[in-house]
Structure 1
């Protein structure tokens, strides 16, 4: 007899992680054990401090508020909506409830017995990974749990010399095959039709028995040793050498060298006794090794034309995709792509200089600003740059500036051809406003700091994130010294930067719903840059300025440095660093998937698991903004 209630429960669960990762039979077994709980508004499901029971929970309908009681004051920590799970932490940590769960409105909740769930999810690592994420999301003290660190941790093999070697090798997923009963003529025709230089001989179970290459046909057929209609078994090289689906580039290369082969059969379990799933060739290895940072940088250095630089940047895009697919640490990815972007700019300048009528009249420094200045530009975005040149006599100023404006036009044009769009706001060195002498730049920075206004705060938030790409380091150092000298004379500037840093509140509304764009072309889309990344960027910049920290522009590195010098806020700063890295990775993957900047996200395209991970990243934003509000006494800021 069918259990209609269990089937209805199963139908709901299967649409939400982690239950969508289980097969139907196991899911139905869990559903049969689920306790269905009806709650009126205000009813308490479990109380803070109580012993945990053997269930965790999922909201079927309504909303459950999770609150924390501190000195008789109730603080809403989070709100769980339909499809959200909660109450996981006590089961994993084996501790009492840290929060109180109560119905925010009339609600139906499923109580899921952990023992039944464990039995069904046994050996399913993806399910447990999801539960750990939920564990961290529902933890009140999100910055001290070991699991929080595990979610955002970056992993890099300790024995890695070249990260390319540790990528999982790309191989042909649909190899050309022939039956063991085929003739060589049939096999050769198939090779010709598919325009490929090899064919794998398989048995009825699709296990690889041998491989035939163009060389085999040339050496054994063209020489008359065997006729063209001979059996493939007379020609094939056997047994084949095999590898598993997770074979790294380095291991694949070693196998080929060891056995003096150019083709490696990839099988289901890595042995000749399982189904063929692909073929790795020496061409795959060469592509992987040729598309690594060292090779790309060499190509950039040797480039004599912008077209060659564009080709190198396209290879960097492929490298970026591969790194993300292989789960290479975002810290490593950022450093590699930033190095390539800087090298492209340097070479663009070197190519532009011979086009000028004379060598530069004085020393100069080319600065990257904004995201490239912070070494965070992973996707193709618009270019932001500036140029500073040595002081010259007043009579020579315009002539000197015109020279560098002309040089900058050549460079920005090349960068545009490479793929970096012109800045819509014209914040480029080809604009006379951003191509000045060192004295003019010093005066500009002092004006922004000592006479702060809305525009000054906006511009300084862009231009203070600069890094020298080419030219005189001394000029860049002078700019940095000027900033900190001027900051000694102005406390108001810090306050205005702080106000700007908290202008975009937490990306989640009261009911933990994402705050999306209300109108315009991006209506109903989520702006991950403005609502997620920039609040963390702005807060980090402000805090390092107050601490007079020089030479660290990258946002996650700024937070890591702050964690060192403010141990009492170490956990908060580390959580901000982790969140920034996770959001950067999310935006980059989204941008690559949709071939855009990744700035706007259609939430309907995300799974519940992805939404959960995003929400987890937003908690540090709220905490760091609260810290800034208190530290800079923003409520007293004059309007």
Structure 2
């Protein structure tokens, strides 16, 4: 083969690789090395490419054409629905090649397959050349997630293009020409100018227009009135010298950080020559977004009526969207939504306490479901209850009526603030969910002792409880009872595990994904039922079996892992998978709502870009690993 032909083949190979991660971000020299050392191999349909019996894997393969089915060595039979399929651009046996060990899976061609192959010694050389490949291979899912968040940030920034973010440059924040004076300007003139121009600060500059000081409204008291300084004094004698400056090309994040580090509320933007270009205040940073965290909390805390809280609930959604647009991860966003919704719920409770006499009653407001797990998305209804103590001298029925009357008003106000009534009546105003500690313990005990289908369903909702207001120790006592009784009942845990395995990841043998056949939603996957639920249900069983009191899914996985001999990397990969599907839900719900539709969880995989398709597939594989662990632990 002559040099021209070889160069053409390498060029074609590189063109193919550049369309798939991580090769699309690989360093040019490393990518060239890879293209020059790959060999194209053919495997006819039905060929077994790699298996545990083939010994140490010495070839890294990248699928160029066709499909390869992967079956874990522990799977029962080759037709099991839980197998997964690899498509063009996907590499395989990374772990086996890197670890120089046999594969733990079978890789079979289910159509005629062409693979690019790289020998192990070249693979290791490439790993040393390319930090991109190194990170990708050692932190596979985390690396893909980083790429996805970057694309997500670009996507959502288009939806809020009219709204500046903390990535905005200082040049875009500054709205007016700076007003400045020389050091010898009388202080009286400076103060009068500040009042007439309605500005909160005055910059003092030298002859070259370089800032040498700043004088603010707060300085009037501390530097003029209290010391008794004459207003005829030059401003240079009372100004704050050496003001904090930043280049005009810096962004709002830089400004916020500088203000925090130096404890100031104003800083100055300067050009390359150090000349004053404008003033940036703390207020400017807060008004970049229509609403900021501080304002939301202040609005909620100061609210005296439901109309004010309704505005705050809308602000929570807007601020959450801004976080999504800025590339913040799903775990942080859902916890952020839950935290602010918690604050809003507590304020609604406080407002209603002024109208109801609960004096002498020890009680707590409980949240269940997604709010109980700190995992609320943009669409959430109410799931709540009340736990209380009824002493011997109290009338149990009358006490419950008082609490239910109170809960009815709270539920109604929550509905007004954007948290719809629960269609299943899982609300504190339901007498069956406004119970004493002993009644809750008895209810849980009945479900555990008689794990019938309805009891298992109830457990998936109510066992994820968390106190939001009142006597938190009541919820703590209920948690201890729950963990003690579940650990001592292996049959219940086995039934819970079986329930968790009743839904399998939608990964196909011949297609990447198994989508809904419902004619109303063709080609879609319900990311809640067939995505996040898989992780939530498995994590719940792990936590109950291993005495983990956390209700959050990620925390349950990570805190249960040591007791289950699951490595930190494995636990992190499962958490990343769960968080990515949560991110897809948030993105999809927002897209639906911007089109005037009620947000749902029905995603079309065909609408995803290549990176997100790859990550979704890997995320669902992580769910399958958790389910495989349940099968192993409970012999299902």
- Same fold per TM (> 0.5)? yes
- Residue number in structure 2 paired with 1:39: 43
- Residue number in structure 1 paired with 2:555: 557
Find the aligned partners of 1:598 and 1:394 in 2 and give their Cα distance. Answer: 49
Cα deviation, residue 245, structure 1: 5.5
Q: Tell me if 1:108 matches 2:123.
A: no
The CA RMSD over aligned residues, in Å, is 5.0
Find the aligned partners of 2:120 and 2:567 in 1 and give their Cα distance. Answer: 35
SS in 2 for 1:243: coil
Find the aligned partners of 1:386 and 1:439 in 2 and give their Cα distance. Answer: 14
- Residue number in structure 1 paired with 2:465: 466
Find the aligned partners of 1:485 and 1:534 in 2 and give their Cα distance. Answer: 25
Cα deviation, residue 347, structure 1: 0.7
Find the aligned partners of 1:433 and 1:495 in 2 and give their Cα distance. Answer: 27
Cα deviation, residue 372, structure 1: 0.7
Find the aligned partners of 2:355 and 2:23 in 1 and give their Cα distance. Answer: 63
- Residue number in structure 1 paired with 2:619: 617
- Residue number in structure 1 paired with 2:312: 312
Find the aligned partners of 1:309 and 1:59 in 2 and give their Cα distance. Answer: 56
Q: Which whole-Å deviations, capped at 9, do the CAs of 1:163-207 have from their partners, x for residues lacking one?
A: xxxx9823269959xxxxxxxxxxxxxxxxxxx943xxxxxxxxx
Q: Tell me if 1:522 matches 2:521.
A: yes
> Which of 63, 67, 82 is the equivalent residue of 1:63?
67
**Contact between 1:171 and 1:280, CA under 8 Å: does it hold in 2?**
no
Find the aligned partners of 1:443 and 1:46 in 2 and give their Cα distance. Answer: 54
Cα deviation, residue 591, structure 1: 3.1
Q: Tell me if 1:445 matches 2:444.
A: yes
Cα deviation, residue 412, structure 1: 1.6
Cα deviation, residue 565, structure 1: 2.9
- Residue number in structure 2 paired with 1:626: 628
Q: Which whole-Å deviations, capped at 9, do the CAs of 1:222-279 have from their partners, x for residues lacking one?
A: 9xxxxxxxxxxxx9978994234685343464799999656577xxxxx579xx9x99
Cα deviation, residue 454, structure 1: 0.8
CA 1:511–1:394: 2 relative to 1, 3 Å: farther
**Contact between 2:437 and 2:474, CA under 8 Å: does it hold in 1?**
yes
SS in 1 for 2:427: coil
Cα deviation, residue 215, structure 1: 8.3
**Contact between 1:263 and 1:282, CA under 8 Å: does it hold in 2?**
no
Once the two structures are superposed, the pairs formed by residues 84-483 of structure 1 within 5 Å of their partners are 84-86=90-92, 93=98, 95=100, 98=103, 102-110=108-116, 128=132, 132-133=135-136, 135=137, 145=138, 169-171=166-168, 197-198=175-176, 212=177, 241-244=247-250, 247-251=253-257, 253=259, 283-287=283-287, 293=293, 295-328=295-328, 331-356=331-356, 358-360=357-359, 362-391=361-390, 396-483=395-482
- Residue number in structure 2 paired with 1:580: 578
Deviates more, 1:450-459 or 1:400-409: 400-409
Q: Which has the higher contact order (CA 8 A, sep 6+)?
A: 2
CA 1:483–1:254: 2 relative to 1, 3 Å: closer
**Contact between 1:197 and 1:213, CA under 8 Å: does it hold in 2?**
no
Q: Which whole-Å deviations, capped at 9, do the CAs of 1:282-338 have from their partners, x for residues lacking one?
A: 654133699554553343222212232233333333443444444556555454443
**Contact between 1:58 and 1:83, CA under 8 Å: does it hold in 2?**
yes
**Contact between 1:461 and 1:538, CA under 8 Å: does it hold in 2?**
yes
Find the aligned partners of 2:394 and 2:363 in 1 and give their Cα distance. Answer: 18
CA 1:51–1:616: 2 relative to 1, 3 Å: closer
5+ unaligned residues in a row in structure 2: which ranges? 147-163, 182-188, 194-206, 212-245
Find the aligned partners of 1:121 and 1:487 in 2 and give their Cα distance. Answer: 47
Cα deviation, residue 500, structure 1: 0.8
Find the aligned partners of 2:584 and 2:45 in 1 and give their Cα distance. Answer: 36
SS in 1 for 2:62: strand
CA 1:95–1:250: 2 relative to 1, 3 Å: farther
SS in 2 for 1:495: helix
Find the aligned partners of 2:8 and 2:548 in 1 and give their Cα distance. Answer: 64
Find the aligned partners of 1:490 and 1:51 in 2 and give their Cα distance. Answer: 44
Find the aligned partners of 2:459 and 2:584 in 1 and give their Cα distance. Answer: 27
**Contact between 2:43 and 2:109, CA under 8 Å: does it hold in 1?**
yes
SS in 2 for 1:58: strand
Cα deviation, residue 427, structure 1: 0.9
Find the aligned partners of 1:313 and 1:292 in 2 and give their Cα distance. Answer: 13
Find the aligned partners of 1:590 and 1:252 in 2 and give their Cα distance. Answer: 36
- Residue number in structure 1 paired with 2:222: none
**Contact between 1:19 and 1:27, CA under 8 Å: does it hold in 2?**
yes
SS in 1 for 2:423: coil
CA 1:97–1:281: 2 relative to 1, 3 Å: farther
Cα deviation, residue 617, structure 1: 1.8
Find the aligned partners of 1:506 and 1:543 in 2 and give their Cα distance. Answer: 19
CA 1:67–1:246: 2 relative to 1, 3 Å: farther
**Contact between 1:562 and 1:570, CA under 8 Å: does it hold in 2?**
no
**Contact between 1:168 and 1:249, CA under 8 Å: does it hold in 2?**
no
TM-score with structure 1 setting the length: 0.69
Q: Which whole-Å deviations, capped at 9, do the CAs of 1:38-76 have from their partners, x for residues lacking one?
A: 4322446678546746x752332x213456779xx9999
CA 1:260–1:463: 2 relative to 1, 3 Å: closer
SS in 2 for 1:248: helix
- Residue number in structure 2 paired with 1:602: 604
Cα deviation, residue 419, structure 1: 2.0
CA 1:345–1:514: 2 relative to 1, 3 Å: same
